[in-house]
Chains A and B, each alone.
Chain A
Amino acid sequence: MKANELLLWLSARREGSWQQFRAVVEELHSDDRETCAEDNDEFPLHQQLRLDLERLAHVEFFARDCEKGWRVAPPILAAHPVPGGVRGVLCGARSPALRERVLRAADKLDCETLYSPGVPDVIRFVATDAPALTEVTSKAGVQFQPDAPLAILSYLPPCDPPLRGSKQAEFPVGIDWEIHEFDESNLAWRKAERRHAQTARVGMFRFLLRYQRPRYFLRWTRSTFELPRAIALYTLLSRSRRNLLRYDVSARTLRLPAICRPPQLLERALVLCSGLPPVYDAATASLTYSDMPREIASFAAELLRQPLR
């Protein structure tokens, strides 16, 4: 229920700073009192909530016009074809009244509200065709996005190496930085020396400083670029084209190693196929995205420059 309240707070405030977001996460979880509100000490709760809200297309973080914080997206029924019809997932801002209106408008449709830990309630409807969903959105006063996963993927750039003219970066200076290099073969981080990072022809390096966000650098043809983690990682992995992505036709699922989480917007497209965040399998350390049409999985694999097996 905390994630629902968080989404309501975000919807009411519309936009704010990152610190305000962290504070409200603390506030809403403060009744845990002495017990730490975070399930995983390694991964802070506010980061977990932020990523889930971003994946489920409720809130934008650090995007244009909210570079230092967040801004809630307008409410949208994101539709995508499913066997037997079209399914719409309610995402974006939410108010108690809006939720009520949507549920009332869709009372003739196959409506389901799914409770998933750590994320706001997933409200989705299945109709025989898109016009039925359009009617719901017009009644409830929300926007309609047909083929939402494909639409998002269609406007995303692939994970290609930086162009020659791209802005180069320099590694942060200071002995306090912990440096790790991504091991392509083992798909794991290993400690590295600064000298190695500076001289490597190709590689991905993570610079960590306590209480600061990690910074990721891609060494590519002896040049250094600072990139988002997933972009740098898949650019590096595009050299080897390992079989990272596995598609199960019968189950309509896409599985990939958890350490190779795709870029944020691409993952949003994958998540909107079901409306649910990926399931983490601790045994295999992998993420599974459900209700995935093959064409979406193929498109995502193309953008990630990975073969789909």
Chain B
Amino acid sequence: MTTFALFALLGLAVVGVWGGLHGHRRKKRILASESPSARSPVSAELKSVHSRDEATALSTQTLESAKLTSLVALPESTDDSIVAVALESHSTAPCAGPDNAAPEIAADSRPIDSRPTVITAAMPTPVADSSPKSTSALETQVSTLTETINVNDQPALVETSAGQCISTKTVDEEEKQSSLPIILPAESNMMDAEHAIAPVEYAFNANVPPDPASEAKESSVAPTVQADTGTTSPHKPALPPVFENDQPGVDVLSQPSSEATIPTKLPGYRPLAPASPTAPSRPRRPVNIRAAPNANVDLRLRVQLVFSRSGAVKTLALIPDRREGMPDEIEISGTQGELRLSEPLDDCYELVPLMDAGNALQQGIEWRERGKVCRWRWVLSGRELYVLTPGDEFGLSGFVSTARLLLNARHVVLATARLRDGVLSTLADTGCVISDASDDTTPGVPAGWLIFRDVTPTRAVPMRDEAHILNALCPLPNVEPHFVGGIRLERRTWLAGFPPRIRFTGALGDDFRPTIDGQPAHPATDGAFEAPGWDSTGVHRLWFGGQTETYALHTMDENWEFWRAHDFGTGTAICGGATYPPASIRQGQVQVPVTNRLLLGARPGEVFHCHLRDDVRCETVMTLVPFVPVWALPLDSSHADKRSARILLFHLTEPAADIKMPTGNRIARRALVAWISAIHEAGCKGLVLAADSKESKALWRRYQDAAKQLRRKMR
């Protein structure tokens, strides 16, 4: 018994100790989930958001039906890059509304139990010069994220979708406290933001069956993306450099990092690393496939420079980028105050003249969408050197800023006076012959800046230190095609008969052998490449150096339609060179002299009295007549001046013979009487015909006879 009691006490003690340990573990787990972990690849923010969601939205029931539908890389807004992961209860429900509403607005319109729960994870700060990661590294990163999401052991499908399902609310809150990210150029290739998001999509492809849109995107996706972020001075910072062709991306590949990885000083201008001439260039997007609008991404601000005939700078403007699906008008605020971007082109908004250009170019410009939700931001990085290329390829006049010099293409270089010697020597290395530069005494040149014209590099030169500003003047040997001129209907579609000229920049070399539709292409007299049938209607495939570009030539659809462009209340509309009566009225337009306003048709009873405009005195009137008029008589022939009054003949049409006398129809009978009386009175008065020909006289006599016979019948 004693022994039994002893064992019972011992058992209770063991249970108590086990229970205490278990409770301690449980507490520890809770504490761990609430405290930031420096070693965890996912920062505290995700966890805090997650715990918030745990407390509110992510009930077990919700999570069971929840699917992770989107993972979007947000390249902006905080010191860290952000990846937003949206959990949505129905995978088919779009996160953004069809009216382009912000995701949370779209979500709010749905029932509570179906609203997407958004988890925002602060990704580690990417290392500025980290090397591109492999796909496996990317997968590792993503799997870590997936684990974090699945902390409740709930199944989650992961799917990426550019431009959707972004926790804008969370991002906005963070943005208020954050400074601008420092975005450095990708080391390998320049690409669009759509591309920048694509690797994430790739990483999840194993989990998600690709939708058609993502399939389309895949063909244009670059293998690696890298962009760096950092911090800037809180006091009106000079914006970091952003490459013109670069859209800021998110380094989802970088290793976990903390504050130690944040650069302490602004990096310099860092153009792309020189690529091997034999290396294939970036894969191009297919024709006419554009990504959905990607909210919370940086958009480019390019610089446009137009010269006047006198050589002065006529226009110095900013070109704000626009993506498909963005609104026609956006209210923005930024470095230059509050503006409204409107009247969009295919890929940019209306040009905005650049004020205080000298400072703005050096300090940089940032615009943000105004309103509760900031979905878009435009950035022009401040720097001391801009390379501008002819804008004709972009459909713009003058010159438009670009990332760097291209071989064998004409450029303009805009640089601060401080860089004068460096620019001249670097350009000399590239084979440019620059006599002099225009300084700020030239009208329109920004104060403290110089403009170098006719910069045409002919040889590639190695770059200097990676961060050197003058690297933008070191052209790469990469071969790039350019479709210039023609009548362009869409991005890669031209009007048949007006094809573009196909030119190449880069180190072409002697063995450069492009083909068009499999036919060898040869340079024409103007240097553009042509091949047999290159300008025929249809889609053409241009192949060069292992890359392919397509372009199309279409004929015009001639199905133009009339519309009521100008209608001043008369019922007749004006469109182009024609006038159109109301659609319901089948009448013909007739020009009638004001002296002969009584119109008669060939059928007895066809009488029309033209009304004059009371607001205008005129000699002739245009009127709509419900029949084909044959004669025009004075309104009251019996009182007309027979010396001046005339009978006008419109058409040589015989009078209708098969006339049935109207019975019981007063209106028809009255019209018949009016027709007979008009002819009778004109005859009695002895009015003469305006066209005094035998034919017309004979015809008039036959009308008189017809009227006489009808008159007798009516008696």
Chain A contacts to B: CB under 8 angstroms = 5, 8-9, 11-14, 17-20, 23-24, 26-37, 41, 57-58, 60, 63-66, 68, 71-76, 78, 89, 91-93, 95-98, 141, 143, 145-148, 150-152, 154-158, 160, 211, 265, 268, 272, 295, 298-299, 302-303
Contacts and interface: CB of A to CB of B under 8 A. Distances in A.
Interface of B: 306-309, 314, 342-346, 350, 353, 390-392, 395-398, 410, 453, 485, 487-489, 495, 497-498, 555-558, 560-568, 570, 572-579, 589, 591, 613, 615-622
19 contacts: A8-B495, A9-B489, A17-B343, A26-B395, A27-B392, A33-B398, A33-B410, A60-B575, A64-B567, A72-B560, A74-B576, A75-B560, A78-B577, A91-B576, A92-B560, A147-B622, A148-B577, A151-B589, A155-B573
A17 B344 contact: yes
A11 B314 CA distance: 31
Given A27-B396, A30-B390, A64 B564 contact: yes
Nearest to A30: B392
Given A8-B487, A27-B395, A151-B578, 5 more contacts: A9-B487, A27-B392, A30-B396, A60-B575, A73-B565
Given A8-B556, A71-B565, A33 B390 contact: yes
Contacts of A268: 577
Main secondary structure of the interface of B (DSSP, over half): loop
Given A11-B560, A30-B392, A148-B577, A60 B591 contact: no
Nearest to B573: A155
A64 B566 contact: yes
B558 A65 contact: no
A68 B391 CA distance: 25
B411 to A, nearest CB: 11
B577 A89 contact: yes
Contacts of B390: 30, 33
B622 A96 contact: no
- The 6 tightest CB contacts between A and B, nearest first, are A73-B576, A19-B343, A57-B577, A78-B577, A154-B622, A30-B392
A91 B577 contact: yes
B453, B562, B578, B615: which has the most chain A beta carbons within 10 Å? B578
Given A26-B395, A29-B397, A299-B618, A11 B556 contact: yes
A23 B396 contact: yes
A13 to B, nearest CB: 7
Given A151-B589, A302-B618, A31 B392 contact: yes
A304 B498 CA distance: 43
Contacts of A299: 616, 618-620
A155 B618 CA distance: 13
A145 B616 contact: no
Given A92-B577, A145-B577, A23 B616 contact: no
B576 A58 contact: yes
Nearest to B306: A36
Contact of A64 (B346, B487, B563, B615): B563
A158 to B, nearest CB: 5
Contacts of A74: 560-562, 575-576, 578
B397 to A, nearest CB: 4
A9 B495 contact: yes
Main secondary structure of the interface of A (DSSP, over half): mixed
B501 to A, nearest CB: 10
Contacts of B557: 12
B619 A34 contact: no
B396 A155 contact: no
A150 B487 contact: no
Contacts of A157: 568, 615
Contacts of B495: 8-9, 12
A112 B564 CA distance: 30
A5 B498 contact: yes
Given A23-B396, A295-B620, A12 B577 contact: no
Contacts of B497: 96
A241 B398 CA distance: 47
A34 B453 contact: yes
Given A12-B556, A145-B579, A68 B616 contact: no
Contacts of B398: 30, 33-34
Nearest to A149: B577
A68 B567 contact: no
Nearest to B581: A155
Contacts of B350: 19
B576 A160 contact: no
Contacts of B618: 295, 298-299, 302
A184 to B, nearest CB: 23
A75 B561 CA distance: 9
B309, B395, B397, B620: which has the most chain A beta carbons within 10 Å? B397
Nearest to A98: B558
Contacts of B589: 146-147, 151
B489 A12 contact: yes
B395 A23 contact: yes
Nearest to A34: B307
Contacts of A272: 577
Contacts of A17: 343-345
Nearest to A26: B397
A52 B46 CA distance: 61
A150 B615 CA distance: 16
A265 B578 CA distance: 11
Contacts of A97: 555-556, 558
B579 to A, nearest CB: 4
Contact of B487 (A5, A32, A73): A5
A97 B572 CA distance: 31
Contacts of A295: 618-620
Contact of B566 (A11, A26, A211, A265): A265
B159 to A, nearest CB: 35
Nearest to A41: B308
B395 A24 contact: yes
A76 B563 contact: no
Contacts of B565: 60, 63-66, 71, 73
